[in-house]
Amino acid sequence: MKEAALTGGKSLRMRRLLSEAGRCLIVPLDHGVSDGPVAGLRDIAGTVERISAGGADAVVLHKGLVSAVQHRLRPDTALIVHMSASTSLGGHINRKVAVCSVAEAVRLGADAVSVHINLGTETEPEQLVDTARTAGECALWGIPLLAMVYVRSSPEDQLHPGKLSHAARMAAELGADLVKCPYTGNPDTFASVVDGCPVPVVIAGGAAHGDVRKLFTLVSEALGAGAAGVSMGRNIFTSPDPAVLTRHLGRLIHDSHSVDRAYSSYQECLMSDTPSAVV
């Protein structure tokens, strides 16, 4: 498994994000800035508690929510503070701007920070500048940087293996310690994305679709292609029981369960009288 060559504070904090095998399950919960209080995030403290109880390795939050939910996080759930924002209200959803500093995130107790980069947009240059600046701050503070990279030049480009490979490599070269990008849909082409990136790569979960078997299959394929894990939000926090789904995704990622075994156990838990307790 690919490992980042880190030292000092970054190395210590990265160990909270990645298992000894170099894998992780990250759950982004930062959607309130872009989309408002969407289903699954209205009771953000309750959602954080369920996902943490399910065994997530880390959650991603904007700075303003940390004080409201920190008491719901288990000690073994890392906190990633998100640094980028845009809203769907202004018509510039792909223009991500910096809304937090690494120093602020450190004061809040962050184990890592994250940035969002939309390549192929008019504001790509500004987003690259923000990323490079944040990477420099992360180096000073000893904080790992997760870069969430997407190709937005056209719908056809979003899953293009060559363009995703370029995006992932760009993020690593600007200083990211962990890269998140969409899964290409094919393990062979995704392997080329992973091979071209010198730091661990996790896949994005994408839009919520409710097909858990399909979800498990995609995760299993990506892991087989060399992915370090997943960074998945909407498919988890909109599910019937986020704790149960988180736990079973963890079994795929950390315990190498097969898709059939994980899905069968997931279904059994949902049919039990107290599914959240049977994780």
Encode pLDDT of 148-188 as tens digits. 999 999 999 999 999 999 999 999 999 999 999 999 999 99
* Mean pLDDT of the 250-257 span: 97
- Is residue 15 classed exposed, middle or buried when 0-12, 13-18 and 19+ CB atoms within 10 A define those classes? middle
Q: Quote the pLDDT of residue 277.
A: 46
List the catalytic residue out of 180, 183, 263, 266.
Answer: 180
Reply yes or no on whether 180 is catalytic.
yes
pLDDT exceeds 90 at position 83: yes
Chain mean pLDDT for the chain: 94
* Mean pLDDT of the 82-89 span: 96
Q: Which residues contact 157 (CB under 8 A, 6 or more apart)?
A: 120, 151, 163
Q: Quote the pLDDT of residue 255.
A: 97
Q: Quote the pLDDT of residue 151.
A: 98
pLDDT exceeds 90 at position 8: no
List the catalytic residue out of 57, 96, 150, 163.
Answer: 150
Q: Quote the pLDDT of residue 249.
A: 98
3-state helix, strand, coil in the chain (%, to 5): 45, 15, 40
Residue 275's pLDDT band, with cuts at 50, 70 and 90, is: low
Each residue of 180-235: pLDDT tens digit?
Answer: 999 999 999 999 999 999 999 999 998 889 899 999 999 999 999 999 999 999 99
Q: Which residue has 């289903």 as its token pair?
A: 39
Residue 143's pLDDT band, with cuts at 50, 70 and 90, is: very high
d(CA 120, CA 150): 9
275, amino acid identity: P
Q: Quote the pLDDT of residue 62.
A: 98
d(CA 193, CA 2): 13
In sequence order, what DSSP letters do the residues of 41-65 get, joined into one string? Answer: STTHHHHHHHHHHTT-SEEEE-GGG
User: Which DSSP symbol is given to 204?
Assistant: E
* Mean pLDDT of the 38-57 span: 97
- pTM confidence score: 0.94
Reply yes or no on whether 150 is catalytic.
yes
Q: Quote the pLDDT of residue 3.
A: 57
Q: Quote the pLDDT of residue 2.
A: 63
Q: Which CATH class is domain 8-277?
A: alpha beta
d(CA 22, CA 198): 13
Q: How far apart are the first and last CA of the chain?
A: 27
Instruction: Based on DSSP, count helices (H) and strands (E) in the chain, helices before strands.
Output: 12, 10
Q: Quote the pLDDT of residue 279.
A: 43
Which residues are bridge partners to 115 per DSSP? 147
Q: β-strands 201-204, 178-181: how paired?
A: parallel
Q: Residue 225: enclosing H or E segment and its boundaries?
A: none
* Mean pLDDT of the 252-268 span: 97
